[in-house]
Structure formats: C-alpha cells, structure tokens
C-alpha cells in the first residue's frame, strides 16, 4: 500500500496563528492545497499566470473586484480567473482552502509586506 494518510483539516487549521499567511497541507501534481485564516482586508492583487480557487471551510468572506464583489459562506467556493484583480476580506475570522500552482505568491503581482513565505508546510 502507498504511504497515503488522511489530512485532518481541523487539526491543521489549529496550527495557524496568523491571518493572511497560507500554509501548504498537500501537493497534487504541480498544485498546492493551502489552508489560511482571513480577517480584515487583504491587498488588491492579481495572478497573471493562474486562476485561484477559494473554498470557505468555516465563516464568511467577500472578494471585491473592480466592478463589484461576491460573498462566500461556509461550504461555498469560487474560481478567480487569472489576470483578474481582486481583494479578499472578512469581517470575522474566516477559514479557507486555496488551490493554486506551487510557487504562487499570495499577493500576486502586488508584493509588499503581506507577502507570505513560500513553501511553508504544516
């Protein structure tokens, strides 16, 4: 049998203390599955080379676009197309999973102080 083990999302989320600092929990081909806690506003940014998936595990969040916004609740997900500028936010703590190619910077083309370290696993 291959070395395959379940990943407990609740246990992994309990190890995340900071907001806006995604942590990798799994890899599939060239994609990372990341857990993150959101609260407050993030930065306007875009990913020119990849779509970005947000899956809300617990809580609520909004994603602003230059021409409107969408709200996501527990159990909902959205795919933000590559090149589309967006800004996530959450009034109260929201726990989410991101799915994106390995090496994707959380702040995309914006950079700055909110840029999380790359390749951090929990």
86 occurs within a structural domain: yes
Provide CB contacts within 8 A for 110, sequence distance 6+.
43, 44, 45, 46
Half-sphere exposure of 74 (CA within 13 A, CB side): 5
Domain CATH number, residue 52 = 2.60.120.10
- Answering whether pTM is above 0.85, one says yes
| Residue 82 belongs to a domain | yes
In a domain, 117, yes or no: no
Q: Can you read off the two tokens belonging to residue 27?
A: 């890899």
| Domain boundaries, position 93 | 22-101
pLDDT digits (tens, 9 = 90+) for 55-68: 999 999 999 999 99
Kind of pairing between the strands at 52-58 and 86-101: antiparallel
By residue count, the chain amounts to: 122
Whether 33 contacts 99, CB under 8 Å:
yes
As for how many domains the chain has, the answer is 1
In a domain, 85, yes or no: yes
> Has residue 6 been placed in a domain?
no
What band does 2 get if pLDDT is binned at 50, 70 and 90?
confident
In a domain, 32, yes or no: yes
User: What are the pLDDT digits (tens) for 75-85?
Assistant: 999 999 999 99
């Amino acid at each position: 049998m291959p070395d395959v083990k379940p990943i407990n999302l609740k246990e992994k989320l309990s190890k995340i203390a900071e907001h806006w600092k995604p942590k990798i929990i799994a890899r599939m081909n060239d994609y990372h599955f990341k857990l993150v806690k959101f609260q407050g506003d993030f930065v306007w940014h875009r990913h020119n080379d990849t779509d970005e998936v947000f899956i809300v595990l617990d809580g609520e969040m909004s994603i602003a676009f230059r021409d409107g916004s969408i709200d996501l609740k527990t159990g909902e997900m959205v795919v933000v197309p590559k090149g589309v500028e967006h800004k996530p936010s959450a009034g109260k703590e929201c726990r989410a999973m991101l799915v994106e190619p390995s090496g994707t910077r959380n702040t995309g083309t914006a950079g700055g102080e909110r840029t999380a370290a790359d390749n951090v696993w929990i």
